[in-house]
Structure 1
Amino acid sequence: MNILIALLLFLLPVLFLLSWRRRGSSRKLPPGSLGIPIIGQSLDLLRAMRTNTGEEWLQERVRKYGPISKLSLFGKRTVFIHGQAANKLVFSGDSTKISNKQTASIRAILGDCNLMELSGQDHKRVRESLMSFLQPESLKQYVGKMDEEVRKHINLHWQGKEKVVALPLMKNLTFNIICSLLFNMKERVERERFLQNFQEMIEGMWSIPVKLPFTRYSRSLRTSSKVQDMLKELIQEKKVKLEQHTATPHQDLITCLLSKRDEENKRVVTDKEILHNIMLIMVAGHDTSSVLMTFMLRLLSRNPAVYKAVLREQEAIAESKTSGEPLTWEDKSLTWEDLARMKYTWRVAMETLRMVPPVFAGFRVALKDIDYSGYIIPKGWQIFWASSMTHMDESIFPEPSKFDPARFENQMSVPPYSFIAFGGGPRICPGHEFARIETLVAIHYLVKQYSWELCSDDNYIRDPMPVPTQGLLLRIVPKKQK
């Protein structure tokens, strides 16, 4: 009897260990290396992006490890996944298993209460509040203000010039549109002060979170604090004006969010959530839209037939406004109905976004262990995805290096979760309609008033947004206005 008990005591741990090993073998980690602690593969990825070889760098990982692999990025253990199934997991995955979570540098600079960090009911609550201002029905009334900002911009920065540098000008334009429509900030001097700090802040968003005086990360943190202080003052001013009834709930995005109340008349969105989401929208509206406009100018200069088709569409819209009497500024302004007619121009924008997505990649976090493609994505690890992996997949988009706006003639023909310039599913970018409007208004006036050609080479880098050589230096020729 004693021998039997002793044998059982000996065998039980062995059986348990064998069982644990069998279970573990079916839940193995993806292939790959975590690299050097903290740094991991961060410098390699950033170097590849800055030489515009980020896609090749990721493709090499796929060739070496397959559709899923582990690495370390920006101080966190990470799993890289790609393809339509990966995009679906990222944008429509079970919110109890996968959540928004950006890198430590982005979170520290933009705050932890923005939409890219929130999940579950908090994400839904804040998103719905933002959409009450950013949905098409609300934005219709702001087309005239956007039109005015674009015309002022062209008069100030394009008129009378022989050459222009497109990217900084487009950033200036989108920032002024944000200040006008989202903040109702009218003073140009105040806008310029804001812009200077803002541009320095975003430089370190994709960086290794090492807080040393000479790093991009530290500089961005300092200017983030300044920008947040400026926004706090602005939010407080809006509060006072609402209380004094000198501002309306839909005057701008901030007053809209401050005015949101639930059934018990309590504020729906906190001051901190307003602050952090304004920061997020500033970055998205300023950087992504300006990149889209810049690369549309670049691709139109390289594709004369596409340029002519865009010009025909825009001239037809302008000519439909003519009448026997001289037109006022307001009569010439674009309307919501005019934008709806710019179907081909928007297809050009979509194809530009496919080929040069402003956002190269993004992150999520696993809230639980996730079984994916035969491997385990452990709880707490980052999930890393890259938009170009499906945008440039020839099995989805034939001849992916060819610029062809016809790909988007029928949206239903584009496979789900393959074009993700604006995200997808319930996590589609809430500002995509805002971006559509400002892009169409800007391109309308630029193609009507100017033709242009490149004065620099056709290359670009990512830092982390795409940056053309010399900021896209253009020689411009004004057209005779009818």
Structure 2
Amino acid sequence: MYKLPGNAGVSVFGDKSLEFYRDPVSFCQQRIEKHRSRVFQCRMLNRPTAFICSVQGMRELLCEKSNLFLKDPTDLMTNMYGDTVVTTNGEEACLLRLSLTSLFAGSCLESSSDYITSVCERCLKDLSLSGQPECVYSAFKRLGTELVLGLFLNIRAEEQPDLFQEIMQLCTQHWHGLISAPINLKVPLWSSGFSTALDARDKLMVIIKDKLENDTQGFVGSLGSLPLPDSTSASQHLLLFISALIPKALASLLTSFTLALSGNKQARLRAMEDPDYLRTVLLEVQRLWPPFIGGRRIADQDTTIAGFPVPKDYGAIYISHSVHRDPEVFQQPDNFLPERWSGRNAGQEHYLCSFGNGPRSCIGTKLTDVFLKEACMYLLKHYDWCLDPPSQDLEYKWLPVSRPANPPTISFTRLDLTRSDRSDTN
């Protein structure tokens, strides 16, 4: 057995958290090259931590040995969302997943399709109307917000605009608590970001509990009838499902999709006509530009990852950006090559970890896939598009959700309008 490359450092002074958060991609790439290994160690959040940047290591961590690595009970996600399917461990996590799975599959998933179609139509039909370039990330984030609030809370922007705006603002304030120091402090005329987030959470919970008590339709009605552990579980999960996390992830992927096919009319036409090619495009978008940089676990006992020892109480972080560019699995790892998913990497979708992997993967992955395909097909059928201006800085920032650091602007040109579309615009 080989020694885990790198150095775990000394307490506090040897911590590399700030360096990682500044630029996680460069942080990992420099150490991969230095140690000539895609698994290495350093001190993160003042804990010796194994960084996992290979497909093999990720699969061991999240699949084969998932029972040996636990979610951190002190994680900020627990403070902000409570005990949910994302934050709990062991039997509790398994039972929650079993209870919730039915809401994201089968007839429940099918019943969402009409609403998803209507949201895409309403939010995307006017992209070319102003004649000016669109900040696509903002437009797609609004689309994602309408989706989650309509699906999970039965709150439609066109029917309850004031309530919709209030919840959207509260969700944004709550989200900022995830990316601020966990300091709950209030003084006259000022509150910490974390304190503001907790206030927003309390206000959201009032709205959510009212919905659970009085709305028997759709997702919120089904959730209220599930066999969950206690009376607070349904409201905590609804808080998670309507959080800004989901719209930002959807906006990240849709932004990357439009950038990847910008100026490539032939690829857009092929994706519109061939559902399988669209599937490979979306897989490649997810591979190169995963919305989340990765995830963290704590070793519950001494074990190994990719042949390296990981002692009990070590942290273990998988880095999706690095895993997805593992040259042992993905040839020409930095190139956008959708055809790899119908060739060398056919059937290897399970090597991606944008939304986790294994038994703790995102419970809403199928719903996300349906939504992304619907939104992308609407764009492909109704628009040509290109970067405007043609030269823009598209360098990505990776935390808290990946997107170009400078929000890109794209010009959309409406394709030939159908008769029904003409009548809609008259």
**Equivalent residue, structure 2, for 1:404:** 337
Counterpart-to-counterpart distance in 2, 1:411 and 1:141: 36
Q: 1:87 is matched with which residue: 58, 67, 71?
A: 58
Amino acid at match of 1:440: K
**In the alignment, structure 1 residue 127 sits paired with structure 2 residue 60:** no
Quote the sequence identity (%): 20
Alignment-derived partner of residue 176 in structure 1: 146
Which residue of 1 is the match for residue 319 of structure 2?
A: 386
Query: In structure 1, how many angstroms separate the alpha carbons of the residues matched to 2:138 and 2:349?
Result: 34
2:21 corresponds to which of 42, 46, 62: 46
Identify the range of structure 1 (205-214 vs 449-458) with the bigger mean alpha-carbon deviation.
205-214
Query: Aligned pair count?
Result: 407
Q: Deviations over 1:444-468 (max 9, x none)?
A: 2222222111123332222321222
Whether the aligned pair in 2 keeps the contact of 1:167 and 1:294 (CA below 8 Å) is yes
What is the match of residue 115 of structure 2? 145
Matches within 5 A, 1:365-384: 365-372=298-305, 375-384=308-317
Look up the SS of the partner of 1:192 in the other structure. Answer: helix
CA offsets, 1:149-192, max 9 Å, x none? 11111246653442210001101100110010111013122122
Q: Is the 8 A contact 2:387 2:411 kept in 1?
A: yes
Change (3 A) 1:391 1:232: same
Is residue 106 from structure 1 mapped to residue 81 from structure 2 by the alignment?
no
Output aligned runs, 1:260-279, within 5 Å: 260-261=226-227, 268-279=228-239
CA drift at 1:384: 0.9
1:258 paired to 2:249: no
How far 1:359 sits from its partner (Å)? Answer: 1.0
Which residue pairs with 1:264 in the alignment?
Answer: none
Q: Which amino acid aligns with 1:259?
A: S
- Hey, what's the Cα distance between the residues in 1 that align with 2:114 and 2:15? 49
Task: From the superposition, tell whether residues 82 and 462 of structure 1 become closer, same or farther in structure 2 (CA, over 3 Å).
Answer: closer
Provide Cα deviations, 1:175-213, integer angstroms capped at 9, x if missing partner. Answer: 110010111013122122222232233245355546677
In structure 2, the partner of 1:233 is 206
Pick which of 159-168 and 348-357 moved more: 159-168
The residue type paired with residue 232 of structure 2 is K
TM-score (norm 1): 0.76
Any idea what the Cα deviations from partners look like across 1:220-245, whole Å, max 9, x if unmatched? 42343234223322332234326xxx
| Cα drift, residue 42 of structure 1 | 1.2
Q: Where does residue 292 of structure 1 map in the other structure?
A: 253
Q: For 1:45 and 1:70, how far apart are their aligned partners in 2?
A: 13
> What is the 5 A alignment of 1:242-257?
247-248=216-217, 251-252=218-219, 254-257=220-223
Q: Which moved more, 1:358-367 or 1:121-130?
A: 121-130
Give the Å deviation of 1:469: 4.5
- Give unmatched runs, 5+ long, in structure 2: 419-426
Q: State how far apart, in whole Å, the 2-side matches of 1:362 and 1:139 are.
A: 27
Q: CA RMSD in A?
A: 2.9
1:141 Cα offset (Å) = 1.3
Q: Does 1:395 align with 2:328?
A: yes
Between Structure 1 and Structure 2, whose CA radius of gyration is higher? 1
CA offset digits 1:63-84 (Å, max 9, x no partner): 3343443322234432223322
Kindly report which structure 2 residues correspond to 1:146-165, keeping only aligned pairs within 5 A, or say none.
146-155=116-125, 158-165=128-135
Q: Is the 8 A contact 2:304 2:310 kept in 1?
A: yes
Does structure 2 conserve the Cα–Cα contact (< 8 Å) formed by 1:101 and 1:116?
Answer: no
Q: 1:280 to 1:232 in 2, by over 3 A?
A: closer
